[in-house]
């Protein structure tokens, strides 16, 4: 427990008004047991009491997830200031020791983002944002999701950061639209996914025991089936909005479809003679997706990589031809 006297004394030494600045109070022992800091880095925070080095080192581990190594912290009552990266050098700790974290100057905040999105949707907000619905934002959301995937595949960290932000905006936007009609809100989304993750990981948050990845995946699927029946009217319950090739592979997985290369080759040969070439092409593509599933290959990623490789090769050839034409003109 954090005593009121300790909080009052810390605020007096720091010369801050806890109410004016929105001071967050955190129990040191709870922070030390956490895996992510439970406070907003855009606001000041006071962690206490820090009675031993083990607690201090664990606080450093957790706080380092959202604060930079050079972020300055202040110990109370000594008023010693130190950077986060050097926090483990402090040894003089007792039941009266508190740690003050000033707000990050460049800190982003989920609360701030939620306020911005709500402001855009307000009666006097942005005309375009106010006119949007769940449906009209669907295409934009899909585009942002694909751009996130592309940034991951290219290994472009800064681009990934930007695209994740764009995708996060769409999540907040959909939540804002729902909250306006009292359907659900952001905390509901966080609560539901948190409960689902805890429920599906009883070996972490409960007393279940699993031996290896195989048993772990079996447990996951078993819990998932108990939450929501996988099949409706005998059909796998898969989102129609998935890319066609990805959906085909997932259907092949759920239905345990098996094919061989000879059958695929025979279907390819029949393609040129088929009356309905599009239908036969669909059969060939589905068979290839099923083959990919059987061999544990990612058909969607394979096709995307091949398409990108082809585009790069065509671009290089076009540039080479352009260079040759330019040289001929200069002769």
Give residue-wise pLDDT tens across range 267-284.
Answer: 888 888 888 999 999 999
Number of domains in the chain: 3
Give 72's contacts (C-beta < 8 A, 6+ positions apart): 81, 82, 83, 84, 102
**Rounded Cα distance, 257 and 287, in Å:** 9
Let me know if residue 207 belongs to a domain: no
Q: Is residue 39 part of a domain?
A: yes
Q: Which of 41, 64, 48 shows the shortest CA–CA distance to 2? A: 48
Domain that holds residue 282: 229-297
Within this chain, do residues 13 and 83 fall inside the same structural domain, yes or no?
yes
Q: Are residues 70 and 134 in the same domain?
A: no
b/e 87-98 (16+ beta carbons within 10 angstroms → b): beebeebeebbb
pLDDT at 141: 95
* Other beta carbons less than 10 A from residue 190's beta carbon: 12
Is 200 domain-assigned?
Answer: no
Ranges of residues in the chain whose predicted pLDDT is under 50 = none
Q: Are residues 293 and 258 in the same domain?
A: yes
State the CATH number of the domain containing residue 19: 3.30.950.10
Q: Pull the structure tokens for residue 165.
A: 């932000």
Burial environment of residue 250 by CB neighbours within 10 A (0 to 12, 13 to 18, 19 or more): middle
CA pair distance 129, 50, nearest whole angstrom:
47
Strand partners, 73: 82, 101
Residue with tokens 């001071």: 23
Residues 276 and 252 placed together within one structural domain of the fold? yes
Task: Take residue 96 and report the two structure tokens written for it.
Answer: 């009266």
Q: Is residue 131, in this structure, part of any structural domain at all?
A: yes
Structure-block tokens of residue 118: 């709500």
Domain membership of residue 276 (yes or no) is yes
290 and 239, same structural domain? yes
For the whole prediction, is pTM greater than 0.85? no
Task: Give residue for tokens 């769409």.
Answer: 170
State the pLDDT at residue 106: 81
The pLDDT of residue 329: 67
CATH code of the domain containing 176? 1.10.287.1080
Q: What is the pLDDT of residue 235?
A: 63
> Of 286, 244, 242, 287, which is closest to residue 264 (Cα–Cα)?
287
User: Is residue 83 classed exposed, middle or buried when 0-12, 13-18 and 19+ CB atoms within 10 A define those classes?
Assistant: middle
Question: In the prediction, which pLDDT does 266 show?
Answer: 87
Do 82 and 14 share a structural domain?
Answer: yes
Do 276 and 286 contact (CB within 8 A), yes or no?
Answer: no
pLDDT in tens, 209-249: 999 999 999 999 899 888 876 555 556 678 887 888 899 99
CB 47 within 8 A of CB 40: no
Predicted local confidence at residue 56, as pLDDT: 96
pLDDT of residue 321: 72
3-state secondary structure of 231: strand
> Domain end: 73, 101, 129, which one?
101
**pLDDT value at residue 134:** 94
Question: Residue 178's pLDDT is what?
Answer: 97
Q: Which of 184, 217, 249 represents a domain boundary (last residue)?
A: 184
128 and 86 in a common domain: no
Asked if 93 and 116 sit in the same domain, the reply is: no
Residue at 322 is within a domain: no
Residue 220 lies in a domain: no
Is 197 domain-assigned? no
């Amino acid at each position: 427990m954090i005593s009121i006297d300790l909080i009052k004394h810390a605020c007096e030494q720091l010369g801050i008004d806890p109410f004016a600045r929105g001071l967050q109070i955190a129990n040191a022992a709870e922070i030390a047991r956490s895996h992510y800091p439970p406070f907003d880095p855009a606001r000041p925070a006071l962690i206490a009491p820090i009675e031993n080095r083990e607690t201090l080192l664990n606080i450093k581990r957790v706080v380092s997830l959202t604060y930079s190594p050079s972020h300055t912290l202040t110990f109370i009552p000594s008023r010693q200031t130190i950077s986060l990266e050097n926090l483990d050098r402090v040894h003089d700790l007792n039941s009266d020791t508190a740690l003050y974290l000033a707000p990050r100057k460049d800190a982003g905040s989920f609360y701030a983002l939620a306020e911005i999105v709500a402001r855009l949707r307000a009666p006097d907000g942005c005309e375009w944002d106010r006119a949007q619905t769940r449906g009209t934002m669907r295409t934009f959301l899909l585009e942002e999701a694909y751009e996130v995937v592309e940034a991951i595949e290219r290994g472009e960290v800064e681009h990934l950061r930007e695209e994740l932000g764009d995708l996060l905006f769409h999540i907040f936007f959909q939540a804002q639209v729902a909250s306006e009609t009292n359907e659900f809100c952001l905390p509901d989304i966080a609560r539901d996914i948190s409960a689902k993750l805890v429920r599906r990981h009883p070996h972490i948050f409960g007393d279940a025991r699993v031996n290896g990845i195989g048993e772990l995946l079996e447990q996951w699927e078993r819990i998932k089936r108990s939450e929501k029946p996988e099949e409706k009217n005998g059909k796998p319950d898969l989102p129609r909005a998935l890319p066609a090739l990805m959906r085909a592979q997932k259907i092949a997985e759920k239905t345990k479809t098996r094919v061989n290369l000879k059958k695929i080759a025979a279907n390819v040969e029949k393609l040129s003679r088929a009356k309905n070439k599009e239908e036969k092409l669909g059969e060939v593509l589905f068979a290839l997706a099923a083959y990919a599933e059987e061999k544990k290959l990612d058909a969607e990623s394979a096709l995307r990589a091949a398409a990108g490789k082809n585009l790069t090769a065509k671009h290089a050839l076009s540039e080479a031809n352009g260079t040759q034409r330019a040289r001929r003109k200069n002769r």
